[in-house]
Structure formats: C-alpha cells, structure tokens
Amino acid sequence: MSAKIAYSLVGARVALAASLLGASLFMTARAPGDAPKTAPSAAPSPSPLTLTKTAGKPRQLVTDDTSVYWADGKKILGVDKTGGAVRTVANTAMGASHLVIAAGKTYWTEGEAVFTLGKAPATTKLKDFHIATSGGSSEPFDIDGLHASTTGSLCVTAYYGTGQVPQVTCFDVAKPATETTFDLTMEMGAPMTMDEKNVYWAGYDETDGDAVFMASYTPAAKKLGKRTKLVSKSDAVTGFMVDGGTLFWFEKTGLVSVSTSASTPARTVLAAGATGSAIAVDASHAYYLSGGKVTRVARTAGAKAQVVAGTKVDCFTIDTSSVYWVENGSLQKTSK
C-alpha cells in the first residue's frame, strides 16, 4: 500500500462563512494551559469523482496501485481507481475484517483465522487461531488488528483467553505453522499497533503508571526487547497508528503525535480538541475521520485543520495523490 491507515483503524466542504461561524462557536471555556479548540476550515478541492454507487456500508477501504477494495457482507469487492464495474475479489464464509495489502498480496481475518486469496475468488486459510481445550470447547481469540511486514511476515494483535490477555502473534506467510507470540502488559481493550521493528501500546504498570509504551520485537528471538515509556497518559487513547517513526492517536487533548526515536519524547498537539476514529497519514499531513467528515492537518504543530471530504462518511483511505471515502453507499474520490 502507498499510504498507511489505522482500522486503534482513515475530505467535506463547507463555505467560508460557515467555517468562520463554526470556529467562533467551537471555542469553549478551558482550563488554564489547555490549547484552544478551533473548528477546521474547508480545503479547496475539485469536485469528487464517484467510482461506484453500490459500495454498501463498509468499515474499511484499502488500495493498491490500481484499485480500491472493501468488504461488503461476505464478499471482498474492488473497483478501478478511475471507476467502472465493481468486481468480486473474494468470497468469504463469515465476512472479512482487517483488510491488508502487502507486496501485491491481499490478507484479511475472519473470526479467529487469517486468510489470503487462492485462485480468485476462492480463498486460502493461512492460519487458524481457534484453540481447542481438553473439554472440547475453545479459548476465545479476539483479533484486534492485522499487520503486514515487507519481509514476508504477518502479525496479529489480539486478546486471548477468558482473561482477554493482550498479545502479538507473528508468523511467516511461507511457513504459517511457525509462530512467535509476545504478551503485553496492558489493560483489556487498550489500543496497540506495530511497524517493522516495534510494538506500541497504551497500558499501565507499577513503575510508569498509565503510559504509552513501545518495545522492539524480533520474531526469531521469540521475545520483546526492552520496553520504553514514550509519554504518560491520563485518559483514553484511541485511533493508534504509526508511520515513519511517528505515533499518532486521539486523546482528550485532541489529535496528537510523538516521535518514537526522540531521546525525550513529547506530545505534539496537531489538532486541539479533535475527536475521531480512523487516522491515515502521508509525508506532510494527518487525515482523520471526525463527525462524518474527513479532515486533514499538517504533521507539524500550529497548522489549522481543514475539512477535505464528506459529511456522512463511513470510512476512508488515502494514497499518494487522492482521498477515497464511502458516503451514502457511494465510493468517491478527490485529489488531495
């Protein structure tokens, strides 16, 4: 994929007068030291192109060089980035979640298993995490995310067992029976994500308290490296995603980022007071879904957020040149 998106989990237009009025209404009383909240302005852009009006109501979009893909019911569908006929990419038994495209291959999860394409639209089960107990029942394995590396491995972030213990399980696509599992010290339901070298999560321990942590991982070593506290946290963290050594998330402060390589990591507030779910980033901007609108803000502090697409967006993604989103059943596209 040419751009990354987070499923913790990633443009609308309003007139200038409406954005100015919204900004004045959005300003609220705040505690001393809090950053002021400002409503995003409208970003000028050409009229959107409708790729298809039959996209349904998907929860996720992904792209490769030529097409946009999504899950609808028990099918994975695709359409060219220029529009045209919608095609069935795969038929699934339970419906697909956590779609990932890496090195030209498509992967997804169904229930407690990871699948890929066989001879399309047939599918191939790569790995089943359904673990039977001696009594014939099974331990729950709730998959939270699927992450692909450029080295041919897949990692699943999940909550395992009746105690819902957070863990990461990695395996080689060519040898899925061989796996490495890392347990994380974090509260149930807290966000986690990963890149090629590190795992990131929000959690708690007796030494550091509530914090955002990172640790290196090496599947061959079958263990995590030294855990590092990035920053403290005092409230819920959502929308976790990492790109190019920078971690992004939502918290009470708004949309924030932190460098994972800084000697003394510190938050940068990108959009004060912003709330949302999915985040996607490119080299210059962070895009996020908030209030049904796709909004963007520069990756540096102090910039004003801009609405770039939609008013009732279900999901979105980006590539190097465009923003894609689904709204009222239509898959649409606009240039950045």
- pLDDT value at 31 more than 50: no
Q: Which position has the token pair 């640790």?
A: 215
What percent of the chain has a predicted confidence (pLDDT) above 90?
47
Q: Mind listing the pLDDT tens digit for each residue in 119-128?
A: 777 899 999 8
35 pLDDT higher than 60:
no
Task: Say if residue 10's pLDDT is above 60.
Answer: no
Residue of 280, 300, 195 whose CA lies nearest to 11: 280
Which range, of 9-18, 268-277, 324-333, averages the lowest pLDDT?
Answer: 9-18
Alpha-carbon span 243 to 285, nearest angstrom: 11
Rounded to the nearest integer, the mean pLDDT of the chain is: 82
**Domains delineated in the chain:** 4-335 (2.130.10.10)
Give mean pLDDT, residues 153-177: 83
CB within 8 Å of 256: residues ≥ 6 apart: 248, 249, 250, 267, 268, 269, 270
pLDDT per residue over 217-275, tens digit each?
Answer: 876 666 788 888 999 987 888 888 999 999 999 999 999 999 999 989 999 999 999 99
Mean pLDDT check: name the lowest of 91-105, 116-130, 131-145, 192-206.
131-145
Amino acid in position 174 = A
Residue 320's contacts (CB-CB under 8 Å, 6 or more residues apart) are 2, 3, 282
The pLDDT value recorded for residue 2 is 44
Q: What are the tokens at 210?
A: 């509530």
Q: What is the pLDDT of residue 45?
A: 60
Q: Give the neighbor-by-neighbor strand order of the sheet with 268-272.
A: 238-243, 246-251, 254-259, 268-272
Q: What SS3 state is found at 222?
A: coil
Q: Give residue 9's pLDDT band: very low, low, confident or very high (50, 70, 90).
A: very low
- Whether 14 shows a pLDDT value over 80: the answer reads no
The two three-digit tokens of residue 69, written as one number: 């893909």
Express each pLDDT in 38-90 by its tens digit.
567 666 566 899 999 988 899 999 999 999 999 999 999 999 999 999 999 99
Instruction: Give residue-wise pLDDT tens across range 290-317.
Output: 999 999 999 998 889 999 999 999 999 9
